Amino acid sequence: MRAAVQRVKEASCKVDGQITGQIGSGLLVFLGVGQEDGQTDVDYLVDKVVHMRIFPDGQDKMNLDVRQAGGGVLLISQFTLYGDCRKGRRPDFSPAGKPETAKVLYEKTIASLREKEIEVQTGIFAAKMEIACVNDGPVTLLLDSKRQF
């Protein structure tokens, strides 16, 4: 699994003009599922997202995680994180997981984050979404459960 994680002051998702998810301060997480991914990958990424110390403490040092900072998570499915742009002009999305499998792992990620007592808002899997956010920092980190980067 891959994730692009952004620290935000606020973020929201709209589908067909209707807000499906919205948070104040917290993390906007774009999540992609690969062909070989499973529960171990969900566990790895959830642990990273929950425990990354990227929020400022009283001395403005990045020492707090999302829970300690009182933030939420807006989780958005994004298969394009598996787009391979190394050849040609059109990305190759064949490394992305099949929609049926990806949806199950996306839903397991939502459930696992909620088990950690974090407010989780979402988009709608496979929908055309409009994402708005106010980046904080900006702080953007890339995660890969296979540790490819």
Identify the active-site residue in 40, 80, 93, 140: 80
Distance CA 45, CA 30 (A): 12
Query: Is residue 80 among the annotated active site residues?
Result: yes
Identify the active-site residue in 79, 109, 121, 122: 79
Identify the active-site residue in 6, 20, 78, 109: 78
Query: Is residue 35 among the annotated active site residues?
Result: no
Closest CA to 135 of 2, 4, 3: 4
Query: Is residue 79 among the annotated active site residues?
Result: yes
**What are the angstrom distances between the C-alpha of 42 and each of 2, 27, 50, 56, 144?**
10, 17, 12, 26, 11
Alpha carbon distance, N-terminus to C-terminus of the chain: 12
Catalytic annotation, residues: 78-80
